[in-house]
């Protein structure tokens, strides 16, 4: 686990790696400041799941972190009960537009 701290420092000093992590997280550039905390959470995850021996190299550590971040570490805000998906919203707007167009046509306003 001491090795993890050295790897963390190496990764945190690698601007290209940090940029890639921010892009993969998909939560905006503000996520960059959360990377040190996420590495700590990842280390705790490895300990709590008895997976400390699953990261013998820096390459393995990076790979495991990537998949952990995707599956557990980068929580995206969930939609509320009343929120609809973008597709549902597009469908609703499209239906309203068609209804307005029909009404205009029926009223003879598009001559």
Same domain for 10 and 55, yes or no, is: yes
Same domain for 87 and 62, yes or no, is: no
Same domain for 97 and 63, yes or no, is: no
Question: Which residues are CB-neighbours of 31 under 8 A, at least 6 positions away?
Answer: 21, 22, 25, 74
| Model pTM above 0.85 | no
Mean predicted lDDT score pLDDT of the chain? 87
Same domain for 34 and 61, yes or no, is: yes
* Parent domain of 36: 2-73
User: Mean pLDDT, to the nearest integer, of 35-64?
Assistant: 93
Same domain for 36 and 13, yes or no, is: yes
- pLDDT computed for residue 68 by the predictor: 92
Distance CA 17, CA 11 (A): 7
Same domain for 19 and 66, yes or no, is: yes
Structure tokens at 12: 């945190």
- pLDDT computed for residue 80 by the predictor: 64
List of long-range contacts for 75-82, beta carbons under 8 Å, 24+ apart: 76/26, 76/27
Same domain for 47 and 91, yes or no, is: no
Domain tally for the chain? 2
């Amino acid at each position: 686990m001491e090795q993890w701290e050295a790897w963390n420092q190496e990764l945190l000093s690698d601007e290209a790696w940090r940029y890639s992590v921010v892009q993969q997280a998909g939560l905006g550039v503000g996520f960059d400041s959360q990377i040190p905390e996420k590495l700590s959470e990842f280390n705790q995850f490895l300990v709590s799941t008895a997976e400390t021996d699953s990261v013998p190299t820096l390459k393995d550590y990076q790979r495991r972190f990537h998949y952990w971040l995707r599956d557990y570490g980068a929580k995206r805000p969930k939609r509320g009960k009343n929120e609809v998906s973008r597709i549902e919203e597009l469908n609703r707007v499209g239906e309203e537009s068609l209804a307005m167009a029909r009404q205009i046509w029926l009223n003879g306003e598009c001559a």
